[in-house]
C-alpha cells in the first residue's frame, strides 16, 4: 500500500480498505461537544469552539452536531470498521474533550477494542480560563488496542501527559493539533508501521507520521481541509 490521502466519508471509504493492514489508528474525530444540551451542540463548530470575539480563521466541518445517542452510534459504526482493518495488537488513539470522555471510552469498547488508559494533552496555562473555576486547558487521548498488546513491541516508553501549546503558524484547522504533539503520539506505533487517520482534517497526524518514518493513510470529507492536508503532505 502506498501513502494515501482519500477524499470521502470515512463510513464509505473504510469498508474498501483491506482487512488487517494497519499498525495503528490515531485520530481526532469530530467531538460533537460544545454545549450541555442537544440544541447547543447543533450549532456549527465555529459557533461552538471559537472564543467569543475571536475572528474565524478556519473553515467549518461536518459530523459535529449529533446528540449523545447518535454520536455514540456513529462512533461505533466507524470504529468497528477500523477494528476490521487493524492488525492484532495495534494501538488505537482517540482524541476527545472532558464532555465526551465517557462516551469515547464506551465507543472504543463497544467496537471491540481493549481500553488501556487516557493520556492528557495539556495545552498549557492561559487556555480557556474561567474565573472561580478550573481552566479547561486539557484535551484527552483515549487509548487502547485491538486485543493483546505485548510489552516487547518495537515502540518506546511514552509519557502519559504531553505539554504542547497551540501556535498560530502551526494551526491549519479550526481544531488542528500541534505537529510536535502528534510527532510524540505516533511513536506508539511499531517502528516503520502504517498509521490510519480516518478524520485527517489538515493532515497533522499524517505529517507527523511521515516525519517519524511511518507509512500513512488518511481520509477527509471536507474538500477545503482535504486540499489543506494535501498541500502539507509529500506527494506520494
Ligand X SMILES: C[S@@+](CC[C@H](N)C(=O)[O-])C[C@H]1O[C@@H](n2cnc3c(N)ncnc32)[C@H](O)[C@@H]1O
Shortest gap between Cβ of 6 and ligand X (angstroms)? 9
Give Cα 226 to chain centroid, integer Å.
15
Looking at the Cβ atoms of 145 and 175, the one nearer to ligand X is 175
- Cβ within 8 Å of residue 154, ≥6 positions away: 190, 191
Instruction: Pick the closer one to ligand X by CB: 199 or 214.
Output: 199
> Is the sign of the CA dihedral 5, 13, 43, 29 positive or negative?
negative
Output the smallest distance, CB 184 to ligand X, in A: 14
Is residue 225 within the footprint of ligand X (CB under 6 A)? yes
Q: Of 10, 2, 23, whose CA–CA distance to 85 is shortest?
A: 23
Contact string (CB under 6 A) for ligand X, positions 185-214, x = contact: -------------xx-xx-x----------
149 vs 174, which CB is nearer to ligand X? 174
58 near ligand X, judged by CB under 6 A: no
Kindly state the greatest CA–CA separation across the chain.
52
**Interface of this chain with ligand X, residues 118 to 177, rule: CB under 6 A:** 172-173, 175-177
Q: Which is nearer to ligand X, 123 or 149 (CB)?
A: 123
Among 3, 33, 63, 83, binds ligand X (CB under 6 A): 63
d(CA 142, CA 93) in angstroms, rounded, equals: 6
Nearer to ligand X, 114 or 212 (CB): 212
The x, y and z cell numbers of residue 81, run together, are: 470498521
As to burial, measured by CB atoms within 10 angstroms (0-12 exposed, 13-18 middle, 19+ buried), residue 106 is middle
Residues 194, 23 contacting (CB under 8 angstroms): yes
Q: Which is nearer to ligand X, 217 or 222 (CB)?
A: 222
DSSP string, 157-189: ---SEEE----GGG--STTPPPHHHHHHHGGGS
Among positions 61, 121, 143, 162, the unique one binding ligand X when judged by CB under 6 A:
61
Q: How many helices (H) and strands (E) does the chain have?
A: 8, 8
Is 9 a residue that touches ligand X (CB under 6 A)? Answer: yes
Residue nearest to ligand X (CB): 201
Chain positions contacting ligand X, by CB under 6 A: 9-11, 28-30, 61-63, 172-173, 175-177, 198-199, 201-202, 204, 219-222, 225
Amino acid at each position: 500500500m502506498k501513502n494515501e490521502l482519500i477524499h470521502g466519508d470515512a463510513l464509505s471509504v473504510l469498508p474498501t480498505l483491506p482487512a488487517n493492514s494497519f499498525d495503528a489508528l490515531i485520530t481526532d474525530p469530530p467531538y460533537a461537544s460544545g454545549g450541555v444540551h442537544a440544541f447547543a451542540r447543533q450549532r456549527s463548530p465555529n459557533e461552538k469552539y471559537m472564543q467569543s470575539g475571536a475572528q474565524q480563521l478556519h473553515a467549518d466541518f461536518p459530523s459535529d452536531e449529533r446528540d449523545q445517542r447518535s454520536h455514540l452510534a456513529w462512533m461505533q459504526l466507524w470504529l468497528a470498521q477500523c477494528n476490521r482493518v487493524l492488525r492484532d495488537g495495534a494501538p488505537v488513539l482517540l482524541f476527545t474533550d472532558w464532555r465526551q470522555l465517557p462516551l469515547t471510552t464506551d465507543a472504543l469498547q463497544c467496537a471491540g477494542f481493549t481500553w488501556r488508559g487516557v493520556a492528557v494533552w495539556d495545552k498549557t496555562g492561559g487556555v480557556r480560563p474561567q474565573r472561580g473555576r478550573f481552566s479547561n486547558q486539557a484535551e484527552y487521548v483515549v487509548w487502547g488496542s485491538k486485543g493483546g498488546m505485548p510489552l516487547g513491541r518495537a515502540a518506546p516508553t511514552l509519557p502519559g501527559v504531553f505539554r504542547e501549546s497551540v501556535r498560530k503558524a502551526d494551526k491549519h484547522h479550526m481544531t488542528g493539533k500541534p505537529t510536535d504533539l502528534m510527532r510524540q503520539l505516533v511513536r506508539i506505533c511499531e517502528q516503520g508501521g502504517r498509521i490510519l487517520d480516518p478524520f485527517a482534517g489538515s493532515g497533522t497526524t499524517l505529517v507527523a507520521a511521515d516525519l517519524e518514518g511511518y507509512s500513512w493513510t488518511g481520509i477527509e470529507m471536507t474538500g477545503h481541509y482535504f486540499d489543506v492536508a494535501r498541500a502539507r503532505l509529500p506527494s506520494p
